[in-house]
Amino acid sequence: MKKRILAIIIIIIAIIIFLFVVFNIAKNVTFGKGYNIVDGLRAIGGKFQSLDNVHKVNWAGHEFEVAYLDTLQYKTTGNKNIEFTEKGWHAPSYSMPRSRLLDVNLNEKVKVTIKANFEGEMTSSNEDCTDFCMTTERYHFSEFPIYIGDEDWHRKPMKIFGTRESPDEGNVRNTYNFPVEFTVENNNTNIIFSDNSGFKRTFSKDLKYILHESGEIVSARASYGEVNTDQKYFLVINCHVNAEGYCKLNIKEIIVE
């Protein structure tokens, strides 16, 4: 009996050592532009996700659906400590709050302006994560991505506010506190996003293309699936704190025309 227990213990220790070695080798085995095996497994893990604690709130006189995202792709241990407030949320380290404006359909002629404050911080180090690593789940950041999405949460990105300004590039700041005013307008021909920094981007109504003032037409970032043009379009305000830090949302006013 003792020999059997000892054998089981030895097997368990051997399995732990084997997995430890494989994991550490996987972190250093790269392909493409530095994307390693662990990154690939995390990306696959992103297919296994769910929206939890889904409920409705009223911010600035309008109905929002809010939740948080659980996924195997990112660390989300902070989700349980997200505080939804009367005007937004306070989200701690490693959390992913989600929201969408329910009572404005951006798939019809309409113009909506959001006045808000986006605040956040990222204190984790990225010294060992440069070049292509900056586009992987290993990179630390705190940000508010703005999307337009359909009823099934397929969505296209409009702009990012936070420690970085693009998912393809690194952080440009460690803290931020932006008094933001941005507008999304569907004029029955195009969908136009603009904000108080002077940023402006025009999309085709199906959100597949970005139309530049020069006349150039480029494909919009694929992001999270193709938007269903037969469904309602919602304005989506998310936050992702993939670091030690936080993000804080404060919706001040919503104007619908």
| Sheet containing 245-256: order of strands | 83-84, 88-91, 245-256, 110-122, 175-186, 190-195, 200-204, 209-211, 217-219
* 13 domain residue, yes or no: no
* 45 domain residue, yes or no: no
Q: b or e along 2-37 (b: 16 or more beta carbons within 10 Å of the residue's beta carbon)?
A: eeeeeeeeeeeeeeeeeeeeeeeeeeeeeeeeeebb
Low-confidence ranges of the chain (pLDDT < 70): 1-7, 14, 16-49, 214-215, 220-224
**Per-residue model confidence (pLDDT) at position 26:** 38
**Per-residue model confidence (pLDDT) at position 130:** 79
Q: Is 215 left (phi over 0), alpha (psi -120 to 50) or beta?
A: left
* 150 domain residue, yes or no: yes
**Per-residue model confidence (pLDDT) at position 111:** 97
The span from the CA of 131 to the CA of 117, in Å, is 31
- What 76-83 contacts at long range (C-beta under 8 Å, 24+ apart), as own/partner pairs, is 78/241, 79/52, 79/53
* 11 domain residue, yes or no: no
* 221 domain residue, yes or no: yes
* Domains contained in the chain, number: 1
| Contact indicator for 21, 11 with CB cutoff of 8 Å | no
In single-letter form, the type of residue at position 226 comes to E
**Per-residue model confidence (pLDDT) at position 29:** 38
DSSP state of 134: G
CATH number at residue 220: 2.60.120
Segment 33-82, tens digit of pLDDT: 344 444 444 444 445 568 889 999 999 999 999 999 998 888 999 999 99
* 188 domain residue, yes or no: yes
Domain that holds residue 244: 50-256
Q: Beta strand 217-219 with 234-237: parallel, antiparallel or unpaired?
A: unpaired
* 61 domain residue, yes or no: yes
**Per-residue model confidence (pLDDT) at position 17:** 62
Segment 97-122, tens digit of pLDDT: 999 999 999 999 999 999 999 999 99
**Per-residue model confidence (pLDDT) at position 2:** 60
